Amino acid sequence: MNRRKAAIAAAGTIAAGALTAGLISVPSAFADGTAAGAAKDRRHGSAEARGVAKAAARAARVGVDWKDCPADWGLKAPVQCGWVTVPVDYAHPDGKKIKIAVDRARSTGGKSERQGSLVYNPGGPGGSGLAFPNRIPAKNPLWAKAATAYDFVGFDPRGVGHSAPVSCADPQEWVKGPKPDPVPDDEADKRAHRKVAEEYADGCKERNDKALISSLTTPNAARDLDVIRAALGDKKLNFLGVSYGTYMGAVYAELFPGHVRRMITDSVVNPAPDKVWYDVNLDQDIAFQTRWDDWKKWVARHDDVYGIGSTPAKVETQWKKLRATAKKEPLGGAVGPEELLGFFQSAPYYDSAWAEVASAWSAYLKGDEKPLVEAAGADLSDKAGNRADENSNAVYTAVECNDAKWPRDWRTWDRDNTRLHAKYPFLTWSNAWMNYPCGVWPFKQHKPTDVNTRTAHPVLMISATRDAATPYPGAVELHKRLKNSRLITEKDAGSHGITNLKNDCINKRVDAYLLKGTTDPKDVTCGPHATPEPEKSAKKATAKAESASAALPALPTGR
C-alpha cells in the first residue's frame, strides 16, 4: 500500500466496453432494474443509496463543464478539466458538498467507434488519476486501440490533490530526513516510533474538518465514482483500477452491480473483510521479502555490470552494510535507513526500477554517493511535490483507518510484527509504523464492505503471482467473490501494475475485453513479461545512475 515517498504510479491498464454511452435519465442508485439491484439498495443502507441516486441525478443534469486545465495542474491540451459535485455525507445529500477534480482526453475514433468513458484510479488510497488521459496524446501504443473507443478520464478522489485536499502534518517537516531507523533496537525505539505515529493521527484530527476526513472511506469513493459516471453521461461504468483501485472497483461492484459495463482490476487487493486492512499489510510484508529476494538474484546475475555481489547472499550482506553505514552516519547528512528503504523498495514494486536502483547503488560502491543521495533523499525545494506526497499519505491513512477496525492494543502489533520481522525483515517494521496511526485513530472505524456479488458484465482481473504490493492470493479471493469474473494470471512475474507492460498474452485479451466485451471461457495463465536488462557495461550503468531518480516510476501510494 502507500509507501512514504510515493507520488502515484501511472502504471495501469485500460478498460473499455460495448454500448454507446448516452446521457442518463434520473437514475436509481441501482438502476439495473433487477431484484439484485434492489437487494443491494436495502443491504447497503437506504439513506446512502437514496443520497447517491439524488447526487447522480443532479450530476447527470449538470454534466461536466469541460475547459482547459488550470495552468498549475501540469495538464496541457487536448486534455480538458472540470468538476463534479458530491455530498460529503451521502446520507445527507443536500448538506455540505465538495468538488471532485476530473479530466479527460477525447477518444480518437469516429462516432461509430465510441463506447463511452474509461475512468481510472491508479491506487493508494491517496493516488491521483489525473495523469491517465495523457496516454492518448502521448500515443502510448498499449492504449492505442482502447483510445479509439473511449474518452480517458482521470480524477482526484475526495481528499486528494484538487478535491478538497486533507493534510495531517506540515509537508516540509514530514519529508525531512534523516528519520529514525524503522527497525527498533529496543523498547525505547518502539515508544519513539509510536509517539510519531500518534502525533500524525492527532494531526489528522487537528488539521482537518472532522466531517470531511471521517468521510474518506472506500464506500464513499465508490459512491463518488458513480456520481462521476452520471456526470459523464454514461449509463454504466467502464473502469480501470490498479492496486488499491481494485478494491475501489470491488466495492463499487458490490454497491452498484448493475452499473458495471467494463471493469478491469489490475494487481488485486484482497477484499476479504477479515483481511482489510491490518492483515493485508502483514501479508504484504511477506510478499515484499519474496520480491526483494528476486531482485537480489537478478543483481547477482549481473555482477559484471554492477559489482555489488556475485550471489544473493553477498548482495544482502552489502545491503546490511549500507543500512548500517547510513544509520551510523546518514549519507549526505540526510539519508538514513528509512530513506534508503523508501528508494530501494521501488525495485520490489517495479521491474522497470531494477536497473536504476542497482545503478545508483553501484555508483555509491564505486565512490560516487551523489546518485543515491539524490534519489533517496528529500528535496526540500520541491514544496509542491512534498505537499502532494504528504497529502497522499494523509488520505492513505484516513481511508485505511476509517474503512476497518484495527487492533487497539499495542501488544498485538508488537507480537505480530516482531514475529514477521524475524523471517521477513525488508519491510515489516517500516510498514508497521506507517500504519500505526490506525491503532490510535481518533475517528469511527467501520466494518469493511463484504464484497460478494454478480455484476452486469464480467469483471476482468489481472494479477502477477509474485506481486509484492498486492499479493496474488488477493486476486484469488476477489475472483471467488465476483461470481462471473475472469482471472488472468501472469505467472513467475511480480511487477506491479502489469497491464501497462508489454506482454502480448495479456495485452490482446485486455483489448478484446475493452473493445468487444469478450473474455476467455476459462481463466488464463500467461507467462511473464520480459526480464529487465541492465546496461552492458559498468561505465554505462554508472552514467545511468546520474538520472536514476528521474527515471524511476513513481510509487503507488497504496497497495
- Which residues participate in catalysis according to the annotation? 243, 467, 496
CA distance 44 to 255: 7
Query: Mapped to the 3 state alphabet, what secondary structure does 57-98 carry?
Result: HHHHHHCCCCEECCHHHCCCCCCEEEEEEEECCCCCCCCCEE
Phi, psi of 137 (to 5 degrees): -65, -25
Query: Mapped to the 3 state alphabet, what secondary structure does 218-248 carry?
Result: HHHHHHHHHHHHHHCCCCCEEEEEECHHHHH
User: Would you call 119 helix, strand, or coil by DSSP?
Assistant: strand
CA dihedral of 251, 254, 255, 260, whole degrees rounded to 10: 90
- Sign (positive or negative) of CA dihedral 38, 44, 46, 51: negative
Return the bridge partners of 121, or none: 241
Query: Mapped to the 3 state alphabet, what secondary structure does 510-547 carry?
Result: HHHHHHHCCCCCCCEEECCCCCCCCCCCHHHHHHHHCC
> Which among 434, 376, 554 has a CA at the least distance from the CA of 168?
434
Sheet with 116-121: strands ordered across: 67-68, 80-87, 97-105, 150-155, 116-121, 237-242, 260-266, 460-464, 486-490, 524-526
178 preceded by a cis bond (ω within 30 of 0):
yes
Cell numbers describing residue 248: 475501489
Residue 23: how many CB atoms within 10 A of its CB? 12
Residues 6+ apart with CB under 8 A from 362: 305, 306, 307, 308, 538, 541, 542, 545
User: Would you call 488 helix, strand, or coil by DSSP?
Assistant: strand
Using an 8 Å Cβ cutoff, are 52 and 251 in contact? no
Using an 8 Å Cβ cutoff, are 20 and 249 in contact? no
Residue pointed to by grid coordinates 553505514: 325
User: Would you call 256 helix, strand, or coil by DSSP?
Assistant: coil
β strands within 324-414, DSSP E: none
User: Would you call 103 helix, strand, or coil by DSSP?
Assistant: strand
Using an 8 Å Cβ cutoff, are 9 and 123 in contact? yes
CA dihedral of 83, 88, 92, 94, whole degrees rounded to 10: -40
Using an 8 Å Cβ cutoff, are 123 and 557 in contact? yes
Q: Going by DSSP bridges, is the β-strand pair 150-155/97-105 parallel, antiparallel, or unpaired?
A: antiparallel
CA distance 441 to 451: 25
